Amino acid sequence: MVLGRVGLTGATGMLGRHIRAALHGAGVEVVAASRSGAAESTAWDLSNWLSMEALDQLFTDVQAVVHAGASVQSIGFVDRANMFDVNVRSCLNLGEWAISRNIPLLYISGAIVYEDPFAPLQAESSPVGGHRLGGFYGFSKLLGEDGLIRLRRQGLNLCVLRPSSIYGFGIDADKMVPRFLGVAAKGGVIKLSQPVNDRVDLINAADVSAAVMAALEHNCWETLNVSSGRPVSIMELAEACLNIAGKGNIEIRDNQQSNHKERVKYSLDITRAKKEIHWQPRIDIAKGLNMLMTQNCVDTSQA
């Protein structure tokens, strides 16, 4: 598909702003929607069901829609009713409109839908299901994905991307990556608790955005894992933050249990994405942290 005009939900969120930057960088016109209506986007609270005519007006003449908007898990009280409406009902709202108008839809799901977040190299066919780490957010993302996949069986041109743990400019400040980087930038002490050698696959939002572009350009209506392929330990992340900031220290506050077996969270097999859309991750943790520090949505360094 030669992209000229693409709809985007969640346009002012962390991932949305990266997708928007990637599309603009490729000369694609973006019809942006967000809850607030800020940053030259149209206001759409995803908890509100829109009529077919309203969606026609919102996404006039688009070639595809990228559904990146979501209600994310926060610390403390979670409004489950609102999260369900935003993360599940909006998928059905968009999906029914898209299939009736023959508009392709790309949905940002996540590795959080897999049943076992610590299973090694999970393929797209691995079991899915709710788990404690994902909370109600993970369950709602699974339900949204499931509804859309059922519409795909009815003819919807649907691509589902399942990224590992996304970070990038615009991420909530209380998340681990910006929290570590913020402490280091102030010359403070990053305090770690065991197990510090457990790993997690962190993928930069710019790499996810590149996968979005590639999937649309290749007319890929499948489910694809996307990850960095290079999981980092909590200790390695802290050390990388110190290197980027040029200051700070690390303190490990307790001892690791002798019987602990190191684990990797969100280890994904990305063979299908490499084969089907010729995509591969390009941003390592050092480059990604530098982009976060300099508030960039695109990699301006030399590859």
Domains and CATH numbers, the chain: 5-171+201-228+266-282 (3.40.50.720)
Phi, then psi, of 90 in degrees rounded to 5:
-65, -30
What is the C-alpha to C-alpha distance for residues 267 and 228, in angstroms, rounded to an integer? 9
What is the C-alpha to C-alpha distance for residues 105 and 103, in angstroms, rounded to an integer? 6
pLDDT digits (tens, 9 = 90+) for 35-88: 999 999 999 999 999 999 999 999 999 999 999 999 987 777 889 999 999 999
Nearest to 244 by CA among 208, 288, 298: 288
Amino acid in position 7: G
Q: Which residues pair with 203 in a beta bridge?
A: 166
What is the C-alpha to C-alpha distance for residues 185 and 198, in angstroms, rounded to an integer? 24
Query: In this structure, are residues 100 and 52 in contact, taking their beta carbons and an 8 Å threshold?
Result: yes
pLDDT digits (tens, 9 = 90+) for 102-150: 999 999 999 999 999 999 999 999 999 977 778 899 999 999 999 999 9
pLDDT digits (tens, 9 = 90+) for 256-290: 777 889 999 999 999 999 999 999 999 999 999 99
pLDDT digits (tens, 9 = 90+) for 202-258: 999 999 999 999 999 999 999 999 999 999 999 999 999 999 999 999 999 888 777
Give 12's contacts (C-beta < 8 A, 6+ positions apart): 32, 34, 35, 36, 38, 39, 41
What is the C-alpha to C-alpha distance for residues 122 and 265, in angstroms, rounded to an integer? 11
Amino acid in position 286: A
